[in-house]
Amino acid sequence: MKYILPGIITITFIVMLSNCTGNSKESDKAVYSEADLSMGFNLVETNCFACHNLNPDMTTRVAPPMAMVKTHYIEKNTTQEQFINDLTHFMKNPNEKDTKMPGAIKKYGIMPKMMFSDEQLRAIAVYIYQTDIEKPEWFAEHYEEEKQKYQQKLNSANPTHVEQGLKYAMATKAVLGKNLLNAINTKGTEGALAFCNEKAIPLTDSMQNQLSISIKRVSDKNRNPDNAANLDELEYIMKSKHLLEDGEEIKPAIQEKGEKIVGYYPIMTTQMCLQCHGLPEKDIQAGTLSKLSSLYPEDKATGYGENELRGIWVVEMKK
């Protein structure tokens, strides 16, 4: 099995000396090339907008919108380097102590650790800083324009299967996430269990039809029997858990199977997940436990803490 980081990026940054007042945004723009911004856009578009979306509907959000994140990390005299350092520091190890958005954590929980290199995190931060996504008109007037401009560079660079598979997994995650959050907000945790029981697999199936690929979620500790991992998937899950135990990062993997490529992408737990997947009677309330026992008599998917491997996305693509 071949393990590959999603998108190995080489970005050359030229550090500019400045007066004690710091660099302005205008002077910072000259430091980074259009290729750097292109890489940042593609990382944000593939990995970040799936959760930090631009939809104004509060009921379907699974995380604060990216514009809100930016405004919380920038003050009047914040330089680009300060912004990059603050944002990447939190993304490397999301925690309540270091956040600049305690209200968002209270509403959505702490985001899982992201499987990005330092170069990738820096590219994401540069793009967010240099782009006017905090302006209300940005999405309507500039998003599609930038998508065409920057994705053209990505397409010409022949993105790897692991990058393509990640994009499919994140798109499916966004659809499931917004529907789940809407169910939690309108029906509570117990009511949302009915959504998971009845709609999660059909929604996943609808996404694979839309994307013309095969995609599923599986686990070694499955709740639904249809989400049980097979031997190849279990091998990746076990290796990934050992990496976590040793304090190392989990890397997405791809495997060639005949005329198809299969990609494996980790699903990490967040604080929100623990309402249904945490410790019984500590994280999971009695009513929720009772509902789980009724819907899933052979449930194995409890006992998790934050930032643990809950399962994986499996994306099957043509070569």
Residue 33 has pLDDT above 80, yes or no: no
Residue pair 114/3 in contact (Cβ under 8 Å)? The answer is: no
Strand pairing category for 309-318 and 260-268: antiparallel
**Three-state SS for 23?**
coil
Architecture per CATH, domain 2-156, reads as Orthogonal Bundle (1.10)
pTM of the model: 0.70
Structure token pair of residue 304: 């998790």
pLDDT-derived band at 64, boundaries 50, 70, 90 = confident
- Cα–Cα distance, 125 to 70 (Å, whole number): 9
- Cα–Cα distance, 40 to 13 (Å, whole number): 13
CA dihedral 233, 235, 237, 241 (to 10 degrees): 180
pLDDT-derived band at 11, boundaries 50, 70, 90 = very low
Residue pair 230/144 in contact (Cβ under 8 Å)? The answer is: no
pLDDT for res 146: 83
CA distances in angstroms from 139 to 59, 131, 132, 212, 216, listed in the order given: 19, 11, 9, 27, 31
Amino acid identity of residue 282, one-letter, is K
pLDDT for res 140: 78
Per DSSP, the chain holds a count of helices (H) and strands (E) of 12, 5
Query: Which H helix or E strand runs over 313?
Result: strand 309-318
Average pLDDT, the chain: 82
- Cα–Cα distance, 252 to 33 (Å, whole number): 28
Domain(s) of CATH 3.30.450: residues in the chain = 164-318
Residue 21 has pLDDT above 50, yes or no: no
Select the more confidently predicted residue: 97 or 111.
Answer: 97
pLDDT for res 294: 94
CATH number corresponding to 164-318: 3.30.450
pLDDT-derived band at 20, boundaries 50, 70, 90 = very low
- Cα–Cα distance, 163 to 255 (Å, whole number): 14
CB atoms within 10 A of CB 138: 16
- Cα–Cα distance, 252 to 4 (Å, whole number): 6
Which conformational region is residue 303 in: left (phi greater than 0), alpha (psi within -120 to 50 degrees), or beta? left
Task: State the greatest distance between any 2 C-alpha atoms of the chain, in Å, as a whole number.
Answer: 66
Q: How much is the average pLDDT of 286-295?
A: 93
**Three-state SS for 283?**
coil
- Cα–Cα distance, 16 to 137 (Å, whole number): 31
* % of the chain beyond a pLDDT of 90: 37
Query: Which H helix or E strand runs over 123?
Result: helix 118-130
Domain(s) of CATH 1.10.760.10: residues in the chain = 2-156
* β-pair partners for 253: 3, 264
Q: What is the pLDDT of residues 102-159, one digit of tens each?
A: 988 888 777 877 767 788 889 899 999 999 988 888 877 888 888 777 865 555 445 6
Q: What is the pLDDT of residues 241-278, one digit of tens each?
A: 999 999 888 889 999 998 899 999 999 998 888 999 99
Lay out the sheet containing 2-3: strands in order across: 2-3, 253-257, 260-268, 309-318, 214-218
pLDDT for res 312: 97
